[in-house]
Amino acid sequence: GKGGGGVARERAHKVSRAREPVVMTSSGVVRALTTKWTFGYLSRTIRGAGEEVENGALAAAGDEEDVEVLCSMDGANRFVRLDRGKNVYGSFYHVREPETIGLGDVTTFGEFVDCAKKWKQKHVHARVPLMRRKDASGEDAAGLQEHYRRIMSPETMPELTPICGSPLRRDLMGSVDWSWMISYLGAQNFGSIRDVHLHCGTRNSLHHCKYENIDRLLVQVRGRTRVLLLDPSLAFEGLYPYPVHHPYDGYSMVDFEAEEDANKSLWPLFGENVRGKECILEPGEVLYVPQYFFLHRQDLDEEVVALDVSVSQGKRTRHRAAIPLQISRLLEERVSELESIRDAHHWLSVIAHGEESEWIDTSTVKGHSRIKFVESVYEEVEENLGKGQVPAFLKAMVEGRLMPTPWLNKKEFREPLYLLDKPFTLEDTRTELEKKYPEFFRNKLKGEGWQVPESRSTVPIPGYNMPANADYRTYSPSQSK
């Protein structure tokens, strides 16, 4: 529901206290920035790698506080952020060619804006860390206790990151109504703000259905975004989330844009059970997204700017509908640690069908460890979901999951280590003019978003790769050094 006005505002707070998503329309938290934060303005106030920061040092490329630019490669305009730490070559869930890649060469917000304006065949999305809560690592017991107190207090503000230029710092501290946000967090028994990220996208960019294990406030600053919210109780009733150890952990395996028949064959429960809540976020509105709720987004305007504010749980209790998803993550971690990621599906299925005695040799040390694991599974599930729920829960948890994901690697892929690798050819799409003058083809590829190496002529050409007044017959490249 949406909350604006006195009665509606009280209703919005009531919905939030019930740990349900709600849109607050009259917060005014970024009223002063809805017309100010254009792409052009932000490109002048957000620093990138190699640019000077407040203390006079240079921002290092590859730092966690860099501008992160994602590019959708498959023509679907869809962004699925891959966890590179889990995408290990040769692993059970290895994704050879991700549909979304990070553009490491694009290190400034200005370069992102250039790509967003010029590229026609590909879409880009920028994610910028603006604020981050200070870590408590290395502190003594008293320091940790103080850090815990600060985490639990909504009035504790995170620190600005070095990537923020002076105008952006003034905007964040002077034009964002933090008092409203602190008041809201306090009334809802939340803790402090963990971090703040800036998200910038373009028209028709899709951000695939994903859940997070933290509560979030999405503050729409510029442009409109269509959002679809799905209850966590649907996780094993039709959304089929990727396994914990998968590079796409947190995302739904279902392709929301695919044909109904295709989804019906792969994900039969999706069409039968999955229903959600949809709304369009307008500039200035704030969406509360509870932890473990699935969020599917589509940017609707040429310039879309939003703040993603993650907050600590504080004194709030967990959502009842999220418990199965939390338990499944815990069990996947445990069984993979005891056995392997590859065998997680097998052993959870064995427990689900009550076949432990057929698969476990209790006379061995390994068998003893497996029996202890089975006991822990029953304890965890029955304590949280009730007696007799283990078989049904585990069957739903493993159905269509914890297995290889071959549909992510359907593209023609050449394995350089295999002698049986079959070569393939690409169609020559150049025009006669582009064949005659390759520079035209190079410019075309650049306009479509491809990274084209600079051409270097080995023939001395006055005014191009040598001084205009030099004699090409006697000129040597070493003379220009």
User: What are the start-end ranges of the E strands in 145-255?
Assistant: 159-160, 193-201, 206-210, 215-222, 225-230
* DSSP state at residue 409: G
CA distance 180 to 330: 36
Q: Provide DSSP, 305-342.
A: EEEEEEE--TTPPPPGGGHHHHHHHHHHHHHHHHS-TT
* DSSP state at residue 466: B
CA distance 11 to 4: 9
Backbone CA torsion sign across 70, 76, 78, 79: negative
Q: Which of 99, 98, 123 is nearest to 205 (CA)?
A: 123
> CA neighbours within 13 Å on the CB side: how many for 222?
21
The owner of tokens 């951000």 is 207
CA distance 171 to 174: 5
Q: Which two tokens stand for residue 221?
A: 């600053």
- 3-state class percentages of the chain: helix first, strand second, coil last, to nearest 5: 35, 20, 45
CA distance 79 to 100: 6
> CA neighbours within 13 Å on the CB side: how many for 388?
0
User: What are the start-end ranges of the E strands in 377-455?
Assistant: none
Rg (CA), the chain: 26
Q: Which of 416, 414, 388, 395 is nearest to 328 (CA)?
A: 395
CA distance 97 to 451: 16
CA distance 65 to 140: 27
Strands 78-79 and 206-210, by their bridges, are parallel
Q: Please report the pLDDT score of residue 58 as a whole number.
A: 45
Number of H-type helices and E-type strands within the chain? 15, 15
* DSSP state at residue 458: S
10 Å CB burial of residue 433 (0-12, 13-18, 19+) is exposed
User: Do the Cβ atoms of 236 and 324 come closer than 8 Å?
Assistant: yes
Angle, helix 365-385 to helix 323-338, in steps of 10 degrees: 180
Helix ranges restricted to H, 153-257: 166-174, 178-187
* Residue 14: strand, helix, or coil: helix
Q: Which of 97, 135, 157, 142 is nearest to 410 (CA)?
A: 97
* Residue 57: strand, helix, or coil: coil
CA distance 203 to 236: 32
Q: Please report the pLDDT score of residue 5 as a whole number.
A: 57
What phi and psi, each to the nearest 5 degrees, are found at residue 123? -110, 150
> Could you say which residues of the chain have pLDDT below 70?
1-6, 48-65, 74, 136-140, 411-425, 477-481
Question: Containing H/E element for 359?
Answer: helix 356-359
Q: Please report the pLDDT score of residue 1 as a whole number.
A: 53
10 Å CB burial of residue 133 (0-12, 13-18, 19+) is buried
Q: How many residues does the chain have?
A: 481
CA distance 402 to 245: 9
Q: Please report the pLDDT score of residue 479 as a whole number.
A: 61
